[in-house]
Structure formats: C-alpha cells, structure tokens
Amino acid sequence: MLPLSDTLVLDLTQVIAGPTAGQILGDMGADVIKVEPLGGEHFRPHFGGAWVPSMNRNKRGLALDLRTEGGRDVLMRLVAKADVFMEAFTPGVIDKLGFGWETVSKVNPKLVYASVSGYGQTGPYSSRPGYDPCIQAEVGLIEATGPMDGEMCRVGTAAVDYSTGLACAGGIAFALLARHKTGRGQRLDLSLFDVGVHLMSHWITNHGLTGEDPVRMGTGNSILFPLRVFETRTKPIYIAGTNDPFWKILCKALGCEEWLADPRFVTNEGRVAHRAILEPMMEAHFAEHTCEALLAILLPAGMPCSAVQKVSDLMDNEHAKARGSIVEYDYPGLGPIKAAANPMKLSDAPLEVRRLAPRVGEHTVEIMRGVGYSDAEIAALRESKAVGAP
C-alpha cells in the first residue's frame, strides 16, 4: 500500500511550487484533485502544452468557477471530506473566495491546510506576489552568482520553486503524522522567501562570522579551493576539493605531489590565500588531459568530481536510466512527455504513473457524483458555467 492511499488532497495551486508538492503526494498514493478555473491554469500553454502534463501526473481534474455560488458549493463539499487543502494565492485572496483557513478548519477540523506564497502569511511583504527569480534576487542568490568580476546571473532553473514544492510535500507529511497523534489538522505557512533564505544557509553563517558578502566567482567559491570547473582537452570537469584530505587525494591521483609538498597549499586557508599562484598551475595541468582520462583516475581514488554535462547528456546518462530519474509517458495530442521522477524513493512505494495529468476539468463529473450531486444537478451547474467538464 502506498503511504498516502486513502488521503484526499485538494490542489488549488498553479505553476511550479504547489503543483510539484501535489505531484509528490499523488506519486505517494494520495487522491489529488487539481482544481482549476474553467479555462485552466495560466501556464497550460507553455512548452507547447506540455507544462501541465509534466507537472501534474497522478491527479484528477476538476474545473470550478469559485466566483459562483455553485462552484463554491462543490469545493466546500469536498473540503468536508478532504485531508489536505493546498492553495497558492496571494494572501487574502483565498479568504475573499470563502476558503480561508479560519473558515475551512471549522468545517473540517482535521484538515491539513497548506498555503504557498511568495512571502508568507505575515510580515511587511506578505501582500506581494512572489516569483522564483524575484526571490533569487531578494535573498542574495543572484548577486552571489556569476563570473568573477562579471555580471550577476539568475540560477539556470527555478531552484526556489522546486525546493518550495519539496518542502511543502514534506511539511504536509509532517502535519498528517502529527494529526495521527492529536486528531487535529493545522496550517502550513510556506513561502518562497523563507525557502530562498534557507538555500543561502552557509553564506548566512559565513556573514555572521566574518561580515562578508559572497563574492561572485563563476563556478568557484571564495572560501574553498579547489572548488570549480576546469577546462580539459574534451569537456570541462568539476573538482570539489572541499577539505584538506580531498586535496591530498587530488594531488596524489594527478601525480602532482609537488603541490602537496608546498607549504603554501597544505591547508584550505593557504590555498585560498595563494589562489593566484596555484590556480594557473592547476589550469595548465587539467588542460593537458581529457576529461575522461581524469575521471578514470580521480573517481577510483575517491575524489569528488564530475564531468560538466548538458541536459541532452543527462537524458542519456546511464545512472539516470538506472535510477529511473526521468520518466516518459505518452500524452494524448502531445506524444511522449518526459519529466523528472519523484526523488523520494521509498522501498514500498515505487514510482508509477497511475494517472496522466488531467485535461481541464477532466474528472469534474466523476468527482461531483462522489460528493452527492445528481446528473441533473451537474448538468445545471455546467449550464450556468459554475463548473466545467470536457
């Protein structure tokens, strides 16, 4: 049995963070209902229509107009039965629709209620809409990223959004676990801002000790060396010499024991202080060899390192294939869809695509029947545009 079987989740979220959390819950066996406006979430057209299919597997689809009494009634009937309610509106919007925490927790005291927002439910920025790149900028991530003496850069993926989705799924699981002990639900207040701050953890600690802001160093790092990409005769290689024992392994494996014997380079502090001397020597050495030859000697020696690859390389990566890290399935009208697999690998809950991502309102009729609506009532609500179904 999957860990969240018999768990009903109402997922009113859109785009990345919330849908990622809902997809993880669905992968783990929950009955996740994706609640959308009649026209669908606003990211449905992205990637040629493949966005929602890639982000919302293992969910059912319900289309409601929550501005109508009929649409609100359908959702409230589901609230009374649900275990989890997920929303990602700007704080205050869901309350105006009649489904704020104070309201629904009275209808269903056992409900776990997850609010995902840009800046959280409290604080001076709480009313602002939040977007991943804006959060990256605000927490110092963009300013810390980019080439040395060059332009700052956004991280090349929605790192804050996806991390927020993972944290949301975990927070919901913790709240469900607590409910087994207390019999009560609770609210999860999760913000992209707080998750972004968490991603800067070691820089926050460093600033507390030294007062220093991060220095942009491309693929490198101002407080550890060698920790960067080096060019080789073939493809680049990343060397993660994060401590002195790894430095010894690196020097011995490369046959460069003169570096190891140099007192200036014995400690990380010394290597950082004398980077201008050591770095060109290392660059010249790596440039003489292929990435493949370097990996062949460094990996068996226990040195953390890797080839620098593109997404196209990842698609054919033997380890990704062995781990099932990427899933592929046919979606009607689009053909093969590839997506990242659930990273949470439980021994008794293997990932299965039990249900393709829903079309807008694909399961509206089925879901409404499940909460007591007659076919005549469903037809009337469809006619009044309170609900939508294909």
Please state, in angstroms and rounded to a whole number, the distance separating the CA atoms of residues 191 and 214: 23
Q: Sign of the C-alpha dihedral, residues 346, 348, 352, 354? A: negative
- Residue 161 among the catalytic residues: yes
Q: How far apart are CA 72 and CA 324, in angstroms?
A: 40
Q: Which residues contact 270 (CB under 8 A, 6 or more apart)?
A: 263, 264
Report the alpha-carbon distance of residue 171 to residue 165 in Å, rounded. 10
Cα Dmax for the chain = 85
Q: Which of 89, 115, 83 is nearest to 101 (CA)?
A: 115
At residue 304's C-alpha, the angle toward residues 214 and 161, to 5°, is 50
Burial class (CB in 10 A: 0-12, 13-18, 19+), 121: middle
Beta-carbon neighbour count of residue 245 at 10 Å? 10
> 277-280 long-range contacts, Cβ below 8 Å, gap at least 24?
278/225, 278/226, 279/225, 279/226
Set 27, 132, 161, 189: catalytic member: 161
Query: Which positions ≥6 away from 350 have C-beta within 8 Å?
Result: none
Residue positions annotated with a catalytic role: 161
